[in-house]
Structure 1
Amino acid sequence: MTTTLKQRLQEDLTAAIKGRDELRSSTLRLTLSAVTTEEVAGKSARELSDDEVLKVIAREAKKRREAAEAFAQGGRAEQAERERAEGEVLAEYLPQQLSDEELSAIVADAVREATAGGAEGPRAMGAVMKIANPRIAGRAEGGRVAAEVKRQLAGA
């Protein structure tokens, strides 16, 4: 039987606690807590799929990046470093991020498809995002994707 991503997080948490790795154990504990919160949100409790767990991990990683930036700007280097370290722990569970070139190529294909389908102007943005997002599937942040789509549509 294959282990789910949630099981892997729980096993890694146990190993981190046994290894007295405070940073890793607290990061994984918070992430599992976010997964559990997501599972009980809504009308009925349910088990999250690996894709849904990945989305939770990506959201948590984004929070760490934003907090690290805020701490760094506020002159609190120690806290910023801690947030970055937590983000690195979470990055181990996320798919490899797309390079700018890979992202650009996927968006270019999506722009071609959307404009061939008759989409133009501001409406093209939604059409391109709809085509590009499934192909990107968590390997690039939404803001990065949207910025690249805007850049390519402006040049089109």
Structure 2
Amino acid sequence: MTLIERLNQDMKTAMKNKDKETLSVIRMVRSSLKNREIELKRPLNEEEALDVVIKELKQQQDSLVEFDRAGRDDLAEKARSEIAVLERYLPEPLSDEELRSIVQKAVNRTGAASKADMGKVMKAVMPEVKGRADGKRVNRLVLEVLQ
């Protein structure tokens, strides 16, 4: 089942169960997916749909940081619950060991030897871990390996 099909199915389920919170998040994502399709003037493939979900998740995470900083616990809690719904549509996250292995292979492949080669390694790693590892986490591990 594709991501878009899962969203449609889950939207129907949320409507039946009167789960307003989940329904709201799914509608937001579907709207973003539709807008992206209109931009590209064609249907989205699975990877492009995943990119949209990741973008929505990052926006919610950024909002959560701002709400926490401003002391808006009500909005922060809403953002946390929306993040939880969005995370259901992401692939299984990589463990630290798996991620470290991918980073080490990329370092070996690119011949990186110092922090100056970090861009090469990041460029090699990020497409491989898309949606399964946060860029900050990858960045931290690349720095550790290149030390």
For the criterion TM > 0.5, the same-fold answer is yes
1:133 and 2:131 aligned? no
Which residue matches 2:95? Answer: 99
Which residue matches 2:143? Answer: 150
Once residues 101 and 73 of structure 1 are traced to their aligned partners in structure 2, the CA distance between those partners, rounded to angstroms, is 32
| Deviation of 1:134 (Å) | 3.2
Which residue matches 1:112? Answer: 108
| Deviation of 1:53 (Å) | 0.8
Pairwise mapping of residues 52-91 of structure 1 onto structure 2 (< 5 A)?
Answer: 52-91=48-87
Secondary structure class of the residue paired with 2:93: coil
| Deviation of 1:133 (Å) | 2.3
Confirm or deny: 8 A CA contact 2:110 2:121 kept in the other structure: yes
**Residue identity (%):** 38
| Deviation of 1:132 (Å) | 1.6
| Deviation of 1:142 (Å) | 2.1
What letter corresponds to residue 132 of structure 2 in structure 1? R
Offset from partner CA, 1:66-124 (integer Å, 9 cap, x none): 21121111111111111111111111110111123322221122112211xxx555652
What letter corresponds to residue 151 of structure 1 in structure 2? E
Pairwise mapping of residues 10-25 of structure 1 onto structure 2 (< 5 A)?
Answer: 10-25=8-23
- CA RMSD in angstroms, aligned pairs only: 1.7
Once residues 41 and 151 of structure 1 are traced to their aligned partners in structure 2, the CA distance between those partners, rounded to angstroms, is 39
What letter corresponds to residue 13 of structure 1 in structure 2? M
Q: Which runs of 5+ in 2 are unaligned?
A: none
Once residues 148 and 53 of structure 1 are traced to their aligned partners in structure 2, the CA distance between those partners, rounded to angstroms, is 27
Which residue matches 1:48? Answer: 44
TM-score for both structures, normalised by structure 1: 0.84
Q: Which runs of 5+ in 1 are unaligned?
A: none
Secondary structure class of the residue paired with 1:41: helix
| Deviation of 1:28 (Å) | 0.3
What letter corresponds to residue 97 of structure 1 in structure 2? P
